């Protein structure tokens, strides 16, 4: 609403003389004032008459009462009448309420008066009738009175003795001022009534003004008139007909457009609907009680969209307003708009339904399914073989496409089946669309020579089955064709038009992006899976401490993860078990996993303790993370930043049955006893790898022979539909009571019980059953720190080898043992212990309590020593140093069953002894 039509607020605005309410209020005010004035005048006149009459009556009564009072006659006849009458007159005046009571002589001389100085003076008034016995009532002015000066209403009466003789006169009266006090108390009532009438008039005017303001929305008469003029101008200028009927179905308003659309004369106003000669459906609609929205009726050669609403909603039948809109010219446009709306809906549906998976074949099927039946009655998708395999498409394979999907009722059509490799004709529409990079329209396949040339017999049968129209469009992404999509219509449907070709290209362009994404995912997934499988163990290493089985299941949909595991033989028949999980998916996670697995192999080769292995891994992950984020800035490539990794590392010693473990953010292991009981060792939880600076705590548990150590990643026990506590409980149930199962059977039972239908994370599982070295295959000796005991140690060694049936290795073993014991006695610290382990290989160990590690060097010909470790390295298959909590262990391992040491075949013992001249051996 414009500023001039803004509603006015406040009583001042409501009662403005420029408004209707203010003018009405002014008239009411004048009327009330006039009525009050008339009422006051009438009251004054009436009260004056009544007051004068009442004053006369009171004057007569007072005068007669005093004249007839006892002793008055005697007082008049007394020698001094004034002295006798003055007190009585004043007492009578005060008691009666009159303004004066005056006793007069028959000569008219005052005997009494309220003011004594007036006594003796001539009385003002008529006394002649009173001398003859009559009462005189009159209005005269006289001397001052206590009530003030003014005209007095007085009565004069005779005083007679018992004989009727007039002995004197008595006059009593009231001044006009006192008479007026009789009507003055009624004046406030009149004025109050007038004020009340004004208040009522004001309140009524305000209420009426407010109601008018609400109904007129604050508009004045001029504004209302102007608004009506505008309303009338707009009503007759709009290009939409307007009809208003009353409760009697009589036409009370029709604008010019309504008269034109319905062909009604201007005199139609005031007639009933039945008298307007309208078409029956429209007349029935105008007389029906319910509302109508956008119903189309034909009137002559026009199509009118009709809307109807009641004029006063929710108050019963009170007329209706009807609007008419000419939609004749929009009828054709409406059909095209509906088609466009359906196409947009189909494109939206395609965006939602196509590409729900990262599978190339399934994405092609989704494209074919979404096009039928809204756009085509049959659809096929043909892709390059390289696309289906995840390879980069090339132009060399355009003529050979493989049928990837079929949709629609094609049972009667002779189309190529899914999976068949199709060689397209160079003149066919498929090859044209691939070469040109845009769609090809064949509105009538009976005239499509290139299409028929592809396979004449198949084309003839397809035409006989009713195939009539084809649109073939390229599936291309990033400017590279991936294949073609073909959309067919049968003889009973409209042939494809150029607009359909544009839509098909848009549909294919959206689907091609999804197909290319699936192709690229397939390629990366295969590469990552190949890389990961190449980095994971392919076979079990030679060791005799554990029977090991494992399972690895990659995730579905998200790509290959970073789960990894390993079995690493260590010195002295020990075996390391490691399992871990790198955060992330794809090639980067697989490559990171490979780097960590290699690092674990290297650290294990150094015979480092469990906690030091994890500490070195932690430092490695930190360095890798820093390499991925140079200068703290993002490198901007996939998989950037090693945000963390978890690992569990365990070393099992088959001689003692002890298993030392530590974990870095990884789920704890489970142990299945030989009796089938499942327990969870209390392995302290440490921070994941990559945080840096946190220590790793270890725990050592004793495992009975035949126990099964179960290691796993979180993908086995945790997924979207199952929390980790539930997964651990299910894992325990799968392992519980597995007495007599070998590791392979235990792995399979766990996978069958816990594997999700569609794993969202990698799953790695490893089950290791423990073995123990028989006590008869272990020989230990305490060696005193004296070089003279070395021959006795060699003798004990020789006897034990004879008991084991290893006489052929006795000389070499004695040589190795004597060298290691001699070095321990000479350079180490007591106690010194020697041990032989007979298993897959023969292991010789010498332990002492120093951490100084011997080193291999080539001694000069003039040196007296320094050749012992060189001989050990030549005769042993491998040797090394392992540090313990109280010192170190030097060990050497020899192959058995005719397997010579690495260097023995090339350098015989005699040659070596001659070369180094070591006579102590």
Report pLDDT digits (tens) over 862-889.
444 455 666 777 777 788 888 887 888 8
Helix axes 868-875, 909-916, angle to 10 degrees: 170
What pLDDT score does 702 carry?
Answer: 93
Q: Which residues pair with 303 in a beta bridge?
A: 298
Residues 6 or more apart whose Cβ sits within 8 Å of residue 908: none
Helix count (H) and strand count (E) of the chain? 26, 31
What pLDDT score does 376 carry?
Answer: 87
Q: How far apart are CA 40 and CA 822, in angstroms?
A: 150
Q: Report the SS3 class of residue 354.
A: coil
Distances (CA, A) of 182 to 56, 187, 266, 298: 13, 11, 75, 89
Average pLDDT, the chain: 79
- Over 90: is that where the pLDDT of 769 sits? yes
With residue 484 as reference, give the H or E element that holds it: strand 480-490
- Over 50: is that where the pLDDT of 806 sits? yes
- Over 70: is that where the pLDDT of 315 sits? no
- Over 90: is that where the pLDDT of 578 sits? yes
- What is 504-543 written as a DSSP string? HHHHHHHHHHHHHHHHHHHHHHHHHHHHHHHHS-SSPPS-
Q: Which of 43-57, 174-188, 226-240, 859-873 has the lowest mean pLDDT?
A: 859-873
The pLDDT-based confidence of 738 (bands split at 50, 70, 90) is low
The pLDDT-based confidence of 477 (bands split at 50, 70, 90) is confident
The pLDDT-based confidence of 707 (bands split at 50, 70, 90) is very high
Residue 446: DSSP 8-state: G
Helix axes 810-827, 790-804, angle to 10 degrees: 150
Distances (CA, A) of 111 to 128, 174, 747: 18, 19, 153
What pLDDT score does 313 carry?
Answer: 61
Q: Which of 361-375, 666-680, 791-805, 857-871 has the lowest mean pLDDT?
A: 857-871
Q: 626: closest CA among 640, 612, 614?
A: 640
Q: 354: closest CA among 799, 362, 540?
A: 362
What pLDDT score does 293 carry?
Answer: 81
- Over 80: is that where the pLDDT of 534 sits? no
CA angle 434, 437, 441 (to 5 degrees): 80
The residue with greater pLDDT, 370 or 48, is 370
What pLDDT score does 219 carry?
Answer: 65
Q: What is the mean pLDDT of residues 257-272?
A: 79
Distances (CA, A) of 71 to 38, 100, 728: 51, 20, 138
What pLDDT score does 185 carry?
Answer: 66
Q: Report the SS3 class of residue 388.
A: helix
- Over 60: is that where the pLDDT of 217 sits? yes
Which range among 98-107, 219-228, 370-379, 666-675 has the greatest average pLDDT?
Answer: 666-675
Q: Which of 565-574, 705-714, 775-784, 899-908 has the lowest mean pLDDT?
A: 899-908
Q: What is the mean pLDDT of residues 273-293?
A: 79
Q: Show the tokens assigned to 728.
A: 């651990």
- Over 80: is that where the pLDDT of 737 sits? no
The residue with greater pLDDT, 214 or 496, is 496
Report pLDDT digits (tens) over 76-124.
888 888 888 888 888 888 888 788 888 888 888 888 988 888 888 888 8
- Over 70: is that where the pLDDT of 64 sits? yes
The pLDDT-based confidence of 704 (bands split at 50, 70, 90) is very high
Region at 910 (left for phi over 0; alpha for psi -120 to 50; beta for the rest): alpha
Report pLDDT digits (tens) over 173-182.
888 666 555 5
SS3 labels along 721-752: CECHHHHHHHHHHHHCCCCCCCHHHHHHHHHH
Q: Which residues pair with 711 in a beta bridge?
A: 766
The pLDDT-based confidence of 5 (bands split at 50, 70, 90) is very low
End-to-end Cα, the chain, rounded Å = 120
Q: Are 894 and 813 in contact (CB under 8 A)?
A: yes
What pLDDT score does 411 carry?
Answer: 63
What pLDDT score does 461 carry?
Answer: 86
Q: Which of 319-328, 530-539, 822-831 has the lowest mean pLDDT?
A: 530-539
- What is 45-112 written as a DSSP string? HHHHHHHHHHHHHHHHHHHHHHHTSTTHHHHHHSS-HHHHHHHHHHHHHHHHT-SEEEEE-TTSBBS-
The fraction of the chain above a pLDDT of 70, given in percent, is 82
What percent of the chain is helix, strand and coil (3-state, nearest 5)? 45, 25, 35
The pLDDT-based confidence of 7 (bands split at 50, 70, 90) is very low
The residue with greater pLDDT, 129 or 280, is 129
Q: Which of 110-124, 419-433, 501-515, 556-570 has the lowest mean pLDDT?
A: 556-570
Cβ neighbours, 10 Å, residue 736: 12
Q: Are 158 and 178 in contact (CB under 8 A)?
A: no
Q: How far apart are CA 172 and CA 903, in angstroms?
A: 173
Q: Are 586 and 524 in contact (CB under 8 A)?
A: yes
What pLDDT score does 900 carry?
Answer: 40
Indicate if the alpha-carbon torsion angle 271, 274, 275, 280 is positive or negative: positive
Report pLDDT digits (tens) over 133-164.
888 888 777 777 776 665 678 888 898 888 88
- Over 50: is that where the pLDDT of 913 sits? no
Residues 6 or more apart whose Cβ sits within 8 Å of residue 424: 398, 399, 401, 430, 431, 454
Q: How far apart are CA 647 and CA 662, in angstroms?
A: 9
The residue with greater pLDDT, 525 or 603, is 603
Whether the ω angle into residue 373 lies within 30 degrees of 0, i.e. cis, is yes
Q: 773: closest CA among 712, 705, 825, 719?
A: 705
Q: How far apart are CA 914 and CA 822, in angstroms?
A: 21
Q: How far apart are CA 452 and CA 235, in angstroms?
A: 65
């Amino acid at each position: 609403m414009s500023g001039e039509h803004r509603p006015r607020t406040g009583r001042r605005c409501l009662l403005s003389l420029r408004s209707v309410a203010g003018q009405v209020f002014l008239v009411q005010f004048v009327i009330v004032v006039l009525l009050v004035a008339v009422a006051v005048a009438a009251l004054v006149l009436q009260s004056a008459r009544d007051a004068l009459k009442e004053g006369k009556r009171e004057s007569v009564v007072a005068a007669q009462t005093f004249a007839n009072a006892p002793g008055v006659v005697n007082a008049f006849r007394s020698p001094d009448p004034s002295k006798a009458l003055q007190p009585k007159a004043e007492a009578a005046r005060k008691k009666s309420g009159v303004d004066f009571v005056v006793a007069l002589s028959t000569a008219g001389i005052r005997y009494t008066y309220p003011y004594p100085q007036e006594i003796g003076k001539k009385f003002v008034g008529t006394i002649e009738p009173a001398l003859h016995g009559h009462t005189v009532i009159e209005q005269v002015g006289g001397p001052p009175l206590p009530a003030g000066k003014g005209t007095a209403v007085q009565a004069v009466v005779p005083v007679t003795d018992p004989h009727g003789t007039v002995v004197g006169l008595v006059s009593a009266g009231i001044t006009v001022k006192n008479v007026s006090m009789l009507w003055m108390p009624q004046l406030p009532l009149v004025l109050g009534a007038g004020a009340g009438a004004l208040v009522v008039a004001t309140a009524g005017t305000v209420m009426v003004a407010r109601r008018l303001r609400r109904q007129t929305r604050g508009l004045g008469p001029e504004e209302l008139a102007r608004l009506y003029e505008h309303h009338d101008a707009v009503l007759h200028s709009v290009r939409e007909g307007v009809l208003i009927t009353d409760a009697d179905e009589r036409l009370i308003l029709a604008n010019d457009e309504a008269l034109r659309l319905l062909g009604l004369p201007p005199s139609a106003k005031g007639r009933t609907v039945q008298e307007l000669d309208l078409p029956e459906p429209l007349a029935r609609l105008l007389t029906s009680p319910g509302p109508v929205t956008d119903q189309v009726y034909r009137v002559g050669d026009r199509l009118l969209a009709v809307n109807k609403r009641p004029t006063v909603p929710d108050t019963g039948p009170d007329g209706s307003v009807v609007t008419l809109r000419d939609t004749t010219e929009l009828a054709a446009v409406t059909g095209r708009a509906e088609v466009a709306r359906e196409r947009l809906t189909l494109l939206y549906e395609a965006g939602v339904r196509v590409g729900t998976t990262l599978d190339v074949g399934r994405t092609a099927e989704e494209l074919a399914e979404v096009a039928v039946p809204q756009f085509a009655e049959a659809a096929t998708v043909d892709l390059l073989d390289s696309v289906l395999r995840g390879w980069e498409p090339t132009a060399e394979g355009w003529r050979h496409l493989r049928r990837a999907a079929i949709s629609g009722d094609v049972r009667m059509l002779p189309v190529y089946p899914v999976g068949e490799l199709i060689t397209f004709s160079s003149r066919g529409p498929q090859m044209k669309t691939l070469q040109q990079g845009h769609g090809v329209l064949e509105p009538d396949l009976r005239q499509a020579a290139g299409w028929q040339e592809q396979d004449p017999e198949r084309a003839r049968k397809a035409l006989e089955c009713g195939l009539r129209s084809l649109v073939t469009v390229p599936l291309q992404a990033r400017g590279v064709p991936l294949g073609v999509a073909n959309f067919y219509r049968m003889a009973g449907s409209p042939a494809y038009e150029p607009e359909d070709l544009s839509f098909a290209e848009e549909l294919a362009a959206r689907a091609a992006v999804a197909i290319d994404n699936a192709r690229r995912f397939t390629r990366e997934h295969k590469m990552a899976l190949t890389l990961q499988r190449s980095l994971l163990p392919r076979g079990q290493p030679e060791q005799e401490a554990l029977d090991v089985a494992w399972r690895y299941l990659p995730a579905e949909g998200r790509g290959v993860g970073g789960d990894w595991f390993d079995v690493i033989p260590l010195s002295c028949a020990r075996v390391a078990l490691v399992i871990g999980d790198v955060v992330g998916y794809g090639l980067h996670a697989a490559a990171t996993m490979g780097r960590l697995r290699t690092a674990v192999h290297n650290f294990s080769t150094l015979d480092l303790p469990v906690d030091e292995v994890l500490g070195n891994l932690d430092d490695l992950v930190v360095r890798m993370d820093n390499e991925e984020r140079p200068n703290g800035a993002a490198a901007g490539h996939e998989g950037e930043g090693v945000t963390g990794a978890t690992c569990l590392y365990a070393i099992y010693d088959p001689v003692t049955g002890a298993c030392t473990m530590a974990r870095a953010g990884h789920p704890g292991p489970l142990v299945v006893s030989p009796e089938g009981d499942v327990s969870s060792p209390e392995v302290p939880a440490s921070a994941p790898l990559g945080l840096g600076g946190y220590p790793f705590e270890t725990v050592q548990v004793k495992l009975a022979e035949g126990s099964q150590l179960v290691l796993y990643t979180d993908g086995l026990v945790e997924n979207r539909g199952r929390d980790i506590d539930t997964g651990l409980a299910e894992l325990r149930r799968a392992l519980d009571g597995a007495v007599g199962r070998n590791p392979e059977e235990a792995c399979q039972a766990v996978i069958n019980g816990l594997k999700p239908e569609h794993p969202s994370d990698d799953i790695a599982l490893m089950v290791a059953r423990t073995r123990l070295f028989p006590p008869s295959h272990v020989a230990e000796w305490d060696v005193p720190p004296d070089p003279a005991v070395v021959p006795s140690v060699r003798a004990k060694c020789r006897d034990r080898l004879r008991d084991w049936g290893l006489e052929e290795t006795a000389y070499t073993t004695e040589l190795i043992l004597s060298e290691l014991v001699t070095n321990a006695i000479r350079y180490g610290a007591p106690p010194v212990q020697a041990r032989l382990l007979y298993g897959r290989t023969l292991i010789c160990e010498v332990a002492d309590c120093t951490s100084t590690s011997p080193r291999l060097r080539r001694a000069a010909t003039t040196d007296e020593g320094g050749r012992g470790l060189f001989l050990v390295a030549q005769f042993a298959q491998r040797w090394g140093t392992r540090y313990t909590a109280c010192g170190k262990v030097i060990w050497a391992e020899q192959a058995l069953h005719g397997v010579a040491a690495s260097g023995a075949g090339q350098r015989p013992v005699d040659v070596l002894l001659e070369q180094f001249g070591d006579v102590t051996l």
